[in-house]
């Protein structure tokens, strides 16, 4: 965590330079007090990406009122009915698209690569809940500044840190994306990915996970998360050779759906994935061992697949080497890992695209990435997916309209259409040609409030 604290000065400087480059004092004031509805705004868009068709609309304007998109129409037509005091934002040289979503975020953890064995423990046992909440506030702002206007936070946020962060953002205390929060992950007994003396583990594990050892405990865990403010339930179906049982998974789904909460499942093994599918969950994360038959079952049941392919193509090694010198054993591990990922991940992406299963994408970014803000580190996933063979149009759709449907917010976000919340980002180039344009988001509006405008 030291890395985070050390770079605080740098962060303040970056924030200051952003302030100086902001378009207007009015937008600044609006950004600081998001509870005050901003003035009607006309965005003159060079082109708008219709993420549903994958086509550009040109010569359009976006009329924003009360935080929502009131109308999208030819600029000439809009000019007539724009209020006199409306603010105009000139994006005529840019490409506008809907605000981006990260469907697999961990805003309240920033692990260091240097402590690979127990970096989750660093956050859980080495930081207080208050420290983690403040870390989350920083990560949320950094995500938003990179164009992520919506985040689905799926664990590693203490007991209720992500729910509190969601509420703080909605109340205007801090800036950040819209958040769907899962609170604690439901796991097999022992939690997930922590290495502790089992005789001493319970107190630490309970700070981060809700271990379930029976269907009754599973139901109780869902209800406890609900009580703490969770929007959805995250389950860890498999951790090594420890599994949530079929009966427990069914109990979780039944109890969550009773409270209108979706269930999303970390599953990397065939056993974990099949258990989740059979129980009728809403989404599967990672899905390393997914088969064509499983994809077909998911499609038939309407289960989403959330791909988390951020570190393909040697990106994990590149990240780790920023802060660690690899030992010969590490080199060997990376060679094996990369051989596996380079062989399997492109095939998995192609099979997902062919299967017709509904999918979204998530970063699973839970690291303190040297030299990058959390938003910049999150945006690595776009190039990674491109390298695995996913066409830019599909990448963008997965991070906008696909994500919206996964979150059940398809009537609020994920497209630039009248009636949607005014979550709009813009890039200088052509993201359908070069999807890494999404790493360079120069304009961010959330709910009609300008967060950043570096378009000149
Ligand atoms: Zn994760």
What's residue 112's pLDDT?
87
| Gap from CA of 193 to ligand 1 centroid (Å) | 11
Task: Quote the ligand 1 centre to 208 CA distance (angstroms).
Answer: 13
408/434 Cα distance (integer angstroms): 29
Instruction: Give the pLDDT of residue 29.
Output: 39
The pLDDT score that the predictor gives to residue 2 is 33
Q: How far apart are CA 305 and CA 357, in angstroms?
A: 7
Enumerate residues with CB within 5 Å of ligand 1 (an ion). 364
Q: How far is the CA of 17 from the centre of ligand 1 (A)?
A: 32
Q: What is the pLDDT of residue 120?
A: 85
126 CA distance to ligand 1 middle (Å): 20
CA 27 to ligand 1 center in whole angstroms: 35
Q: Please report how many Cα atoms fall inside a 13 Å half-sphere around the Cα of residue 300, on the Cβ side.
A: 8
Smallest CA-to-CA distance from 265 within 209, 194, 186 is with 186
Residue 282 and residue 405 in contact, taking contact as beta carbons nearer than 8 Å? no
What is the reported pLDDT for 302? 98
CA of 74 to the centre of ligand 1 (A): 42
So what's the pLDDT on residue 8? 36
| 178 membership: H or E segment, kind and range | strand 178-181
Q: How far apart are CA 430 and CA 169, in angstroms?
A: 31
Q: What separation in Å is there between the alpha carbon of 375 and the centre of ligand 1?
A: 16
CA of 296 to the centre of ligand 1 (A): 24
Q: Between the CA atoms of 426, 427, 430 and 436, what dihedral angle is there, to the nearest 10 degrees?
A: -120
Q: How far apart are CA 201 and CA 53, in angstroms?
A: 51
- Return the biggest CA–CA distance within the chain: 72
Report whether 78 contacts 99 (CB < 8 A): no
What is the reported pLDDT for 36? 58
Distance 7 CA to ligand 1 centre (A): 24
Gap from CA of 39 to ligand 1 centroid (Å): 39
Q: How far is the CA of 106 from the centre of ligand 1 (A)?
A: 7
Reading the chain (456 residues) residue by residue, the pLDDT tens digits are 333 333 333 333 333 333 333 333 334 434 444 555 678 999 999 999 999 999 999 999 999 999 999 999 999 899 888 888 899 999 999 999 999 999 999 999 999 887 766 788 888 889 999 999 999 999 999 999 999 999 999 999 999 999 999 999 999 999 999 999 999 999 999 999 888 888 988 989 999 999 999 999 999 999 999 999 999 999 999 999 999 999 999 999 999 999 999 999 999 999 999 999 999 999 999 999 999 999 999 999 999 999 999 999 999 999 999 988 999 999 999 999 999 999 999 999 999 999 999 999 999 999 999 999 999 999 999 999 999 999 999 999 999 999 999 999 999 999 999 999 999 999 999 999 999 999 999 999 999 999 999 987
Count each helix (H run) and each strand (E run) in the chain, helices first.
18, 19
**What global pTM score does this model have?**
0.91
263 Cα–ligand 1 center, Å: 14
Predicted pLDDT of residue 24: 38
Could you report the per-residue pLDDT of 306-364, keeping only the tens digit for each?
999 999 999 999 999 998 899 999 999 999 999 999 999 999 999 999 999 999 999 99
C-alpha 257 to ligand 1 mean position (Å): 22
Nearest-5° Cα angle at 365, 191 to 346: 100
Cβ within 8 Å of residue 388, ≥6 positions away: 309, 312, 313, 345, 346, 349
Distance (Å, rounded) from C-alpha 449 to C-alpha 456? 18
Count of CA atoms in the C-beta half-sphere (13 A) of 311:
17
């Amino acid at each position: 965590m030291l890395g985070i604290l050390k770079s605080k000065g740098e962060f303040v400087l970056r924030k200051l330079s952003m302030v100086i480059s902001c378009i207007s004092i009015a937008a600044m004031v609006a950004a600081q007090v998001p509870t005050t509805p901003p003035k009607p705004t006309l965005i003159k868009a060079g082109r708008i990406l219709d993420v549903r068709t994958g086509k550009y609309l040109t010569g359009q304007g976006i009329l924003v009122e009360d935080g929502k998109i009131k109308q999208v129409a030819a600029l000439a037509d809009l000019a007539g009915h724009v209020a006199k005091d409306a603010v105009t934002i000139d994006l005529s040289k840019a490409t506008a698209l809907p605000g981006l979503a990260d469907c697999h975020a961990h805003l309240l953890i920033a692990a260091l690569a240097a402590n690979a064995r127990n970096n989750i423990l660093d956050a859980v046992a080495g930081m207080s809940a208050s420290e983690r909440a403040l870390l989350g506030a920083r990560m949320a702002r950094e995500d938003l500044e990179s164009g992520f206007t919506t985040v689905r936070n799926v664990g590693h946020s203490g007991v209720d840190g992500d729910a509190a962060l969601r509420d703080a953002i909605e109340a205007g205390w801090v800036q950040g994306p819209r958040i769907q929060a899962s609170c604690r992950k439901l796991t097999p007994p022992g939690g997930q990915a922590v290495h502790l003396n089992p005789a001493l583990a319970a107190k630490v594990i309970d700070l981060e996970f809700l271990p379930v050892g029976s269907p009754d405990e599973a139901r109780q865990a869902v209800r406890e998360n609900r009580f703490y403010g969770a929007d959805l339930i995250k389950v860890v179906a498999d951790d090594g050779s420890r599994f949530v049982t079929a009966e427990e998974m069914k109990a979780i789904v039944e109890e969550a759906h009773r409270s209108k909460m979706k269930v999303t499942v970390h599953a990397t093994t065939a056993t974990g994935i099949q258990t989740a599918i059979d129980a009728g969950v809403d989404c599967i994360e990672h899905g390393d061992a997914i088969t064509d038959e499983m994809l077909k079952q998911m499609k038939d049941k309407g289960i989403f697949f959330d791909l988390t392919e951020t570190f393909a193509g040697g990106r994990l090694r590149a990240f780790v080497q920023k802060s660690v010198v690899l030992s010969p054993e590490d080199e060997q591990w990376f060679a094996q890992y990369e051989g596996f990922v380079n062989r399997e991940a492109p095939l998995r992406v192609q099979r997902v695209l062919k299967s017709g299963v509904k999918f979204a994408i998530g970063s699973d970014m839970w690291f303190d990435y040297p030299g990058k803000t959390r938003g910049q580190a999150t945006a690595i996933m776009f190039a990674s997916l491109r390298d695995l063979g996913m066409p830019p149009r599909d990448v963008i759709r997965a991070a906008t309209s696909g994500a919206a449907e996964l979150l059940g917010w398809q009537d609020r976000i994920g497209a630039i259409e009248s009636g949607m919340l005014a979550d709009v980002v813009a890039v200088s180039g052509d993201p359908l040609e070069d999807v890494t344009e999404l790493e360079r988001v120069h304009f961010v509006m959330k709910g009609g409030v300008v967060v950043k405008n570096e378009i000149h």
